[in-house]
């Protein structure tokens, strides 16, 4: 087997990947990174009420999860919030990025810094601030689903769109401005230039930004915890409340579903972005 | 009105940040159907001038008139000009066909007309067989043709070209030079090209404006520019030239008497007086072991210094007792290697015709 065959060449000064200590370091890092996740997934199939000893394989807890109405509602809440957050954050992020990239205006640096503030403000502060804010303005509660998710969604958009804006802005940096001048030269209005030339270039950034907003929203706990009411529990908040009693395989099953969902969305987004990069390669 | 200039640039200036003069009071006229070149070193304002024609820069002062119409308040997308960009700016997400058709689509032409004109334009640049290709599947040269077709399909009054050949390799560049000239003759559209490459300008353009520091130094056809440069800058910028510093006084009858070391005193045609440069192109210099006697010649003694052999000619540097050497391009007119070999330290008489000598002021 070629991977086990000793490479006869001496280890070169830049052949870091062939040094034992570096390999060991990587192996240990990967182990601590993935072992808990793999363990969590494996124990979701454990036929035991307690989560310590392996008692045999079962899919009971997935069935239980499926039939747990409050858990399913939390799941639906999370997806709905994540979806709305994604759409609004991406649009808002794209517009913000475009304004910052395209125009010069007084106070631009302040605006840019202010926009990025939700990224650096501790989440706990954002959460408390949001809670106090919604209480102070008297945000109505007890509205029918899904309008009752409004407060959480607004809070999520507020902290997710700067991430989208930064990703899209970075993508715009690689835009060849001659492309937009050329479109203009060929008779396009400012709007057509944006639609026909700038947006196609932004697309990988839009996808990456949307993905970021989606995952940020889906697994956010802190801010959600402070803005959620009794009937607007999201998936992470629900799992937290379940863990407070005991860590049953049902929690594992729910977590596994969440991980898989995130993985699928990421994979799809990466695939789309890769395909776009192949097309966009010749832009510069 | 058909023989009125298609482009009139009247006292146009462009200031950046209120102080930096990128373009400084330029007056130019370009005739209909001309192949006009803006030539100059980088930072001379030639690209800024071109961008003012396209409408991407607004002049700080002066007036740009295209086709008899003042362009002051006309947006870039409404101007009767089209541009080929330095990076070609081919839209990466559109096929060749879509790229070329984009401008017509913006004019809201019917689909049938777009199709026909796109096909015609692609045939013109010999890309008819690649209509469905995506830009990333094409070479630099092909992408440039797409950019050309895309601009020409709009049938502009003027086609602007911003350093169109700078990204191509040497061989392709030469081929494209000929191609651009052919294309310009075929379509009959006025071409204005910006370039820093003098050979490009000389070989393609009908007329060239040489620019430096935001000002036009000289506007002339290529041969006139080369043989009758208006000042030191133009003489130095176009081709190679030897300059010998001297002092000139008017001698009447369109002549000046120049005193210069090591030539002595010589009377030449010219108008510049005071500190001048006697200038002569290297290929107009002859060398001989015997002293020439013709009074119509200027002659100096020199020692061979560096020699660079180029096959068809040799570039020989002679030490004539000045700070800088005098260079001569000696054509290798026969296969006699011995006759055309110059060895360092050999003495020669170096001479050229008085009529080939320029008297240049500043």
B134-168 per-position pLDDT tens digit: 999 998 889 999 999 999 999 999 999 999 888 88
Q: What is the pLDDT of residue A7?
A: 67
Q: Which of A284, A131, A155 is nearest to A220 (CA)?
A: A155
Share of chain B above pLDDT 90, in %: 66
The reply to whether ipTM tops 0.90 is: no
Give residue-wise pLDDT tens across range B54-97.
Answer: 999 999 999 999 999 999 889 999 999 999 999 999 999 999 99
Residue A97 has pLDDT above 50, yes or no: yes
Q: What is the pLDDT of residue A282?
A: 43
Residue B3 has pLDDT above 80, yes or no: no
Is A186's CB within 8 Å of B135's CB?
no
Distance CA B149, CA B154 (A): 9
Q: What is the mean pLDDT of residues B206-220?
A: 94
- What distance separates the 2 farthest-apart alpha carbons in chain A? 73
The number of residues making up chain B comes to 362
d(CA A186, CA B105): 9
CA–CA distance, A94 with A106 (Å, rounded to integer): 20
> Would you call B249 an interface residue with chain A, using a CB distance cutoff of 8 Å?
no
Global pTM?
A: 0.80
Confidence of residue B171 (pLDDT cuts 50, 70, 90): confident
Q: How far does B267 lie from chain A, in Å, by closest CA?
A: 54
A186 → closest Cβ in B134, B143, B150: B150
pLDDT beyond 90 at B337 = no
Q: Which residue of A has its CA nearest to B150?
A: A186
What are B228's two structure tokens? 């009758």
Which of B76, B77, B87 faces A176 most closely, judged by CB atoms? Answer: B87
What DSSP line would sit under B57-99, residue for residue? Answer: S--SEEEEEETTEE-TT--GGGSSEEEE-TT----TTS-HHHH
Q: Is the pLDDT of residue A224 over 50?
A: yes
Residue A283: is its pLDDT beyond 50?
no
Torsion region of A225: left, alpha or beta (phi above 0 gives left; psi -120 to 50 gives alpha)? alpha
Q: What is the mean pLDDT of chain B?
A: 91
- What pLDDT does residue A284 have? 41
Q: What is the pLDDT of residue B147?
A: 94
Q: What span, in angstroms and rounded, lies between the C-alpha atoms of B216 and B209?
A: 6
β-sheet bridge partners, residue B195: B39
**End-to-end distance of chain B based on CA atoms, in angstroms?**
38
> Of A175, A172, A169, whose CA–CA distance to A119 is shortest?
A169
B98 touching A, CB under 8 A?
Answer: no
Give the residue among A76, A46, A39, A74 at the shortest CA–CA distance from A62. Answer: A46
Q: Does pLDDT of B38 surpass 90?
A: yes
A187, A188, A198, best to mutate vs chain B, most B CBs in 10 Å: A187
- Please tell me which of the candidates A178, A197, A283 has its beta carbon nearest to residue B85: A178
Asked if A185 lies within 8 A of B54 by C-beta distance, the reply is yes
Min mean pLDDT across A148-162, A256-270, B85-99, B233-247 is at A256-270
Chain B CB contacts of A185 below 8 Å: 54, 76-77, 81-83, 151
Asked if the C-beta of B148 comes within 8 angstroms of chain A's C-beta atoms, the answer is no
Tokens of B277: 């440069």
Question: Residue A199 and residue B346: Cα distance in Å, rounded?
Answer: 69
* Cβ pairs bridging A and B (under 8 Å): 75
Contact A283 B83 (CB under 8 A): no
Domains, chain B, with CATH or none: 7-235 (3.40.50.300), 242-360 (2.40.50.100)
Find which of B56, B96, B106 to mutate to test the A interface (most A CBs within 10 Å of its CB).
B106
* Chain B, nearest residue to A278 by Cα: B136
Return the axis-axis angle of helices B140-152 and B170-187, rounded to nearest 10°: 20
Q: Do B85 and A284 touch (CB under 8 A)?
A: no
Q: What value does the mean pLDDT take over residues A256-269?
A: 85
pLDDT in tens, A35-48: 999 988 888 888 88
Residues B232/B233/B236/B241 CA torsion (nearest 10 deg): -10
The stretch B202-223 carries a mean pLDDT of 94
- Confidence tier at B359 by pLDDT (50, 70, 90): very high
Q: Which pLDDT value is given to residue B202?
A: 92
What is the residue whose two structure tokens read 């008017």?
Answer: B250
Is the CB of B89 inside 8 Å of chain A's CB atoms? yes
Closest CA to B300 of B351, B261, B244: B351
| Cβ within 8 Å, pair A283-B92 | yes
Distance between CA atoms of B64 and B57, rounded to whole angstroms? 11
CATH architecture of A68-283: Orthogonal Bundle (1.10)
Residue B340 has pLDDT above 90, yes or no: no
Q: Which residues of A touch B (CB under 8 A)?
A: 176, 178-179, 181-189, 192, 196-197, 200-201, 278-284
In chain A, the residue whose alpha carbon lies closest to the alpha carbon of B92 is A283
**Among A9-18, B243-252, B304-313, whose mean pLDDT is lowest?**
A9-18
Task: Choose the closest CB to A187 out of B56, B77, B135.
Answer: B77
Four-point Cα dihedral A173, B84, B96, B155, nearest 10: 140
Cβ contact B195:B163 at 8 Å? yes
Q: Is B95 on the interface with A (CB under 8 A)?
A: no
Q: Indicate where chain A has its CATH 1.10.3720.10 domain(s).
A: 68-283
Strand segments (E) across A20-173:
none
DSSP state of B259: E
pLDDT > 90 in chain A, percent: 40
Q: Does A181 contact B89 at a Cβ distance shorter than 8 Å? A: yes
Residues of A in contact with B143 (CB under 8 A): 282
Contact state of B91 with A280 under an 8 Å Cβ cutoff: no
Backbone region of residue B324 per phi and psi (left: phi > 0; alpha: psi in -120 to 50; beta: other values): beta
């Amino acid at each position: 087997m070629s991977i086990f065959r000793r490479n006869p060449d001496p280890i070169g000064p830049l052949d870091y990947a062939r040094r034992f200590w570096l390999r060991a370091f990587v192996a240990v890092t990967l182990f601590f990174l993935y072992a808990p996740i793999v363990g969590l997934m494996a124990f979701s199939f454990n036929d035991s009420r307690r989560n310590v000893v392996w008692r045999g394989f079962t899919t009971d807890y997935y069935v239980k999860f499926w039939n747990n109405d409050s858990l399913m509602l939390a799941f639906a809440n999370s997806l709905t919030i994540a979806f709305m957050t994604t759409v609004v954050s991406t649009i808002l992020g794209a517009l913000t990025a475009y304004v910052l990239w395209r125009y010069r205006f007084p106070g631009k640096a302040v605006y840019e810094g202010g926009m990025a503030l939700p990224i650096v403000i501790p989440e706990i502060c954002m959460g408390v601030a949001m809670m106090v804010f919604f209480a102070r303005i008297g945000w109505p509660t007890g509205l029918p689903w899904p309008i009752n998710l409004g407060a959480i969604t607004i809070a999520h958009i507020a902290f997710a769109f700067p991430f989208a804006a930064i990703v899209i802005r970075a993508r715009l940096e690689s835009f060849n401005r001659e492309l937009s001048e050329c479109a203009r030269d060929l008779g396009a209005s400012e709007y057509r230039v944006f639609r026909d030339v700038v947006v196609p270039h932004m697309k990988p950034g839009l996808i990456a930004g949307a993905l970021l907003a989606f995952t940020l929203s889906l697994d956010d706990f802190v801010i959600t915890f402070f803005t959620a009411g009794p009937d607007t529990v999201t998936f992470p908040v629900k799992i937290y409340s379940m863990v407070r009693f005991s860590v049953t395989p049902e929690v594992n099953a729910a977590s596994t579903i969440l991980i898989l969902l995130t993985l699928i969305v990421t994979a799809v987004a990466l695939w789309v972005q890769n395909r776009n990069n192949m097309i966009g390669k010749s832009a510069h | 009105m058909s023989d009125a200039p298609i482009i009139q640039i009247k006292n146009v200036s462009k200031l950046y940040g209120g102080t930096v003069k990128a373009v400084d009071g330029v007056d130019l006229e370009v005739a209909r159907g001309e192949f006009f070149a803006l030539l100059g070193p980088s930072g001379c304002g030639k690209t800024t001038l071109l961008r003012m024609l396209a409408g991407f820069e607004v002049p700080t002062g002066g007036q740009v008139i295209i086709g008899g119409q003042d362009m002051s308040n006309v947006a870039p997308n409404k101007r009767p000009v089209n541009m080929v960009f330095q990076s070609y700016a081919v839209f990466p997400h559109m096929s060749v066909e879509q790229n070329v058709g984009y401008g017509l689509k913006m004019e809201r032409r019917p689909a049938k007309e777009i199709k026909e004109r796109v096909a015609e334009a692609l045939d013109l640049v010999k890309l008819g067989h690649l209509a469905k290709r995506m830009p990333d599947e094409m070479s630099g040269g092909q992408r440039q043709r797409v950019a050309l077709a895309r601009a020409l399909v709009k049938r502009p009054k003027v086609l602007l070209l911003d350093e169109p050949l700078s990204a191509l390799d040497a061989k392709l560049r030469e081929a494209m030079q000929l191609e651009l000239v052919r294309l310009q003759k075929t379509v009959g559209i006025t071409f204005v090209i910006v370039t820093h490459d003098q050979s490009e300008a000389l070989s393609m353009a009908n007329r060239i404006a040489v620019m430096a520091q935001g000002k036009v130094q000289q506007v002339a056809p290529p041969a006139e520019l080369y043989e009758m440069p208006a000042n030191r800058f133009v003489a130095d910028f176009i081709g190679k030239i030897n300059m010998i510093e001297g002092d000139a006084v008017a001698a009447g009858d369109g002549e000046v008497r120049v005193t210069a070391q090591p030539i002595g005193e010589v009377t030449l045609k010219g108008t510049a007086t005071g500190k001048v440069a006697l200038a002569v192109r290297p290929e107009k210099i002859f060398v001989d072991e015997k002293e020439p006697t013709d009074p119509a010649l200027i002659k100096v003694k020199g020692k061979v210094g560096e020699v660079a052999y180029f096959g068809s000619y040799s570039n020989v540097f002679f030490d004539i007792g000045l700070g800088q050497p005098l260079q001569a391009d000696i054509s290798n007119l026969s296969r006699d290697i011995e006759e055309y070999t110059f060895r360092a330290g050999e003495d020669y008489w170096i001479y050229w015709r008085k009529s080939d000598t320029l008297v240049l002021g500043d």
